Structure 1
Amino acid sequence: MKKIILIGLILSGVLMNAQSFQGKATYKTHRKFDLNLDKGKGKAKAKGMIDDALQKQLKAQLMKQFQKTYTLNFNKSESTYKQNEELSSPGGQMNGVRVQIMGNGGGSDILYKNINEKRFSNKTEISGKRFLIKDKLTDYGWEMSGETKNIGNYTCYKATRKREEPRTSFSMTDGEREEKKETVTIETIAWYTPQIPVSNGPGRFWGLPGLILEIQDGKQTIVCTEIVLNPSEKMAIKEPKKGKKVTQEKFDKIMDEHSKDMMERFKNKRKSKDGNSYSIEIQG
């Protein structure tokens, strides 16, 4: 009888520890760029508007804007992912060349994931208008691998996936808008550690038998730089509630319309000055 009670107490303790398990992971992001801008046409060429020096400055500016730090607060079934506060802005203009990063709400974004229910809620903003994207988590269909590497003190295993993705790019030269559509193959490589048994990771990545510590998604890389398990101060993981509720498909259409509107406004603004316009738009 005493043995049965003892076993019951041990099992209760294990369940309580699992229920109270929490962690905090810090991730840093960066992105590679192949920046090759036309040196200009017509008036822009005569003015030397886009030269090698300016291209170098633009590339440095873009790389800096994508070097962000995020914090993932998680327990066994839920998480929030939020950009840490920074002084830099998500876009800008340099020597008549406008840089606009679309789909990047910046520090105001909160991404909530519920792993058990396989859904997410993402609070984000477009030009000051708040949206709440509520939808199902993507089933990534990871291909598992026995390949390993160490990230910090953790042994990580490799998982991969490939997807076909439609991509539309825009450009403007002398006030004329050009649009290019293509389908590209994106490979995603994830490194996860079973030593932290939560099926979670940065951004919307999830679905592996361990916390994802590194993601290589096309030209974007996300790397975990710090992990704190069971911090002394308990974290409140709360799902965002405010904002216009939309599905991801609906939000993508809104983003597309907003992108076109921004390009048209920039075109008209530049034409009213000297007729020269260059715009770089990046999907965040």
Structure 2
Amino acid sequence: MKKTKPTIVLFAALIALLSNTIFAQNIHGQATYHYKTTIDINKMRSRQLSEQQKKIIANRMKHVLEKTYVLNFNQSESVYIEENSNQQEGFEMMTDGSSFKKMYKNIEESKLLVEQKFFGETFLIDDSLTEIEWKTGEETKQIGEHTCNKATIVNHVVQEDGTSVATTITAWYAKEIPVSQGPSEYWGLPGLILEVSTDKISILCSKLTLNPSEGTEIIKPIDGKKVTKDQYAEIVKKKLTEIRKL
């Protein structure tokens, strides 16, 4: 029997490695995510509501609490866009604030751009990406056709009364899709993030198209008054304080 020469085996291995590297560098696509959040109507600071009134509010808020987003991505950039974004801003203010219309992330440049409307005014948040210190593990689960690994981070949020509340954020990412992108503000894992969840929020990929022949369009948001994340947070805080005094 003729033996395979070591040089041939080495050459084949190098070709395979090169092919995988080229694939990783050129990968692009589109992911559709279903976003769902909850709100406790009983904790709303308005007058006491009857059960019928609560049901009416819950039905009207459904289009705010459940949304569809599309993520166009490549190795270095992504844009996350809300579908059917004609929402009622009054109800949006009751959610967690993730009512942005477009979010652009550039990993190579550590760049974040977010187009967001607030009380009829459009803002363009222009700032740096926030590093996320994920804790990864070996736990896996299947999302569609992809085996995903688990990652978590504990996020501490300061409440209005000055207390800090810890929330665990869980992400599931697909190593076989080697791009460090994800929905909303989430990124920084060695694979595309297909699911993110907290105790109140769920973001799940329902459709994924890789390397479409027509390419993947990534357009930066440009509309709105340019502000930093801190400046925008101060604008929101000031406006909400004014409303509470009415």
Mark yes or no: TM-score above 0.5. Answer: yes
Identity value in percent: 34
- Unaligned stretches of 5+ residues in structure 2: 1-7
| CA apart distance, 1:140 | 1.4
RMSD: 3.1
Relative to 1, partners in 2 of residues 1:150 and 1:166: Cα closer, same or farther, differing over 3 Å? same
Change (3 A) 1:254 1:194: same
Q: Which amino acid aligns with 2:167?
A: I
Deviation at 1:183, TM superposition (A): 2.0
- After superposition, residues 252-263 of structure 1 pair within 5 angstroms as 252-263=233-244
Q: Which runs of 5+ in 1 are unaligned?
A: 93-97, 169-179, 268-284
Aligned 8 A contact 1:200 1:210 in 2: yes
1:136 paired to 2:128 = yes
Counterpart-to-counterpart distance in 2, 1:140 and 1:134: 18
Q: Distance in 2 between matches of 1:39 and 1:141?
A: 35
Distance 1:39 1:226, change over 3 A: closer
Q: Is the 8 Å Cα contact of residues 30 and 63 (structure 1) preserved in structure 2? A: no
Instruction: Report how far residue 263 of structure 1 moved.
Output: 3.6
- Please, which of 148, 151, 169 is the counterpart of residue 143 of structure 2? 151
Amino acid of the structure 1 residue aligned with 2:32: T
Instruction: Return the TM-score normalized by structure 2.
Output: 0.82
Contact persistence 1:200–1:212 (CA under 8 A): yes
1:51-71 residue CA offsets vs partner (Å, 9 max, x unmatched): 122223333443442100000
Equivalences, count: 236
**Displacement over 3 Å in runs of 4+:** 7-20, 37-40, 59-64, 98-106
Q: Deviations over 1:210-234 (max 9, x none)?
A: 0000001331110000000111322
Q: Which has the higher strand share?
A: 1
**In structure 2, how many angstroms separate the alpha carbons of the residues matched to 1:39 and 1:72?**
35
- Correspondence for 2:32: 26
**Cα distance in 2, alignment partners of residues 38 and 104 from structure 1:** 18
Q: 2:224 aligns with which of 218, 221, 243?
A: 243
Conserved in 1, the CA contact under 8 Å of 2:89 and 2:118?
no
Shift, 1:18, TM fit: 4.7
Distance 1:104 1:12 in 2: 40
* 1:31 to partner: Cα distance: 1.3
Is 1:222 matched with 2:203?
A: yes
Is the CA contact 2:38–2:65 (under 8 Å) kept in the aligned structure 1? Answer: no
Distance 2:113 2:207 in 1: 25
Aligned to 2:5: none
Which residue number in structure 1 is paired with residue 193 of structure 2?
A: 212
Relative to structure 1, the CA distance from residue 216 to residue 243 in structure 2 (aligned partners, 3 Å threshold; closer, same or farther) is same
Given the two structures, how large is their TM-score scaled by the length of structure 1?
0.72
Pairing 1:36–2:42 present: yes
SS at match of 2:122: strand
Matching residue's letter, 1:79: S
Letter in 2 for 1:55: K
Give the Cα–Cα distance (whole angstroms) in 2 for the partners of residues 248 and 39 of structure 1. Answer: 27
Partner Cα distance (1:253, 1:236) in 2: 33
Tell me if the contact between 2:153 and 2:168 (Cα under 8 Å) persists in the aligned partners: yes
Letter in 1 for 2:203: I
Match of 1:55 in 2: 54
Equivalent residues in 2 for 1:1-284, closer than 5 Å = 17-37=23-43, 50-85=49-84, 88-92=87-91, 100-101=94-95, 103-106=97-100, 109-168=101-160, 180-264=161-245, 267=246
Tell me the SS of whatever aligns to 2:183.
coil
The structure with the larger Rg is 1
Amino acid at match of 1:78: E
